[in-house]
Structure 1
Amino acid sequence: MVEKLEDTAGEAVLPLVEEALRVGKRRVETGRVRVSVSTEVQEQVVRETLRSERAELERVPVGRELAEGEPAPTMRQEPDGTVVVPVLEEVLVIERRLVLKEEIRMRLVAVDEAVEQPVAVRRQRASVERLPPSPAGNGPERDR
C-alpha cells in the first residue's frame, strides 16, 4: 500500500500503521482412544517359613524371708535365655506379747459411822374378842 505524501511547507506527514495480533485456540478432535483392561487370575503356591515367639511361664514358689538388710533380688537372665523375675510381697508381721502395764492395789478399810435417819416402821397386831352365841342359835359360832 503506497500513500502519497503531502508536502506542506516543507513538512511531510507519514501515516503509521500497526497490526494487532489476536491469538485464540479451539479444540479439534484428531481421533479417539478406547482402553479396555482385563485381569487374569493365576494361582501359585508360595512357600515361606514364618517365625513367631510365645512366652512360657513357670511359677516357682520360693517362700523365703529376706534377712535383715538383704537387698531385694533383681531381674536376671540365665544362660539358657530364661528371664527370672522375682515377685516380692511385703507382709505385715504382728507380734503379741504380754506386757505388765500397771498394778492396782486394793485393801479393805473398816469405817464406823453413826447415822440417824427417820424410818417408818409398820407393825400389825391382832386382837381377838369372843362373842356369845347368837340368840337364834342356828349358825356356827364365829370369831371376830
Structure 2
Amino acid sequence: MVIPLVAERVAIARRVMETGRVRVNLSTTTEDALIRETLSGERVEVERVVLGHEVATAPNVREEEDGAVLVVPVLEEILVVERRLVLKEEVRIRRIATTETVAETIPLRRQVASVERLSATASEGSPDAQARPEDGTGDST
C-alpha cells in the first residue's frame, strides 16, 4: 500500500500600492530689510610748511604727534658762489580716522511651501480630487 505524503508551501508576492499623493507648491516672497553699519576709514590732509633755511645735510623723514603726522622734507639745491643745501619746505601728511553710519534697504527673500494631500484614486488633473491642505505640523492623517 502506498500512502502519498502532502506538504504545503508558501509563496509570498509583493506589489506596490499607491496610498496617497501630495502636491507641494513653493512661493517666494520678498521683504525689505533696513541695515545699519558703522564704517571706519582714514582721510589724509596735506599741509605745506615753507621754511627756506639752509641745512648741512638732508633731514630724514620723521613722524610727529605720536605717528599721526608724517613729515617729508623737500630739498632744493640753489647755486650761489658756493652750493648750499636749503631746506625749502616740509610736507606734513596727517592721518585722520573717520566713522560713518550707513543705512541701506536691501530685499530679503523667503520661501513658503504649501503641501496638499490628494487621495490615492484621484488623478492629478481630475476635478473630483479630494485635496486636504497640510498644516506643516507633521501630522499625516
Indicate whether the TM-score tops 0.5: no
Higher relative contact order, structure no. (Cα contacts within 8 Å, ≥ 6 residues apart): 2
Larger radius of gyration: 1
Give the TM-score taking structure 1 as reference length.
0.35
Give the TM-score taking structure 2 as reference length.
0.36
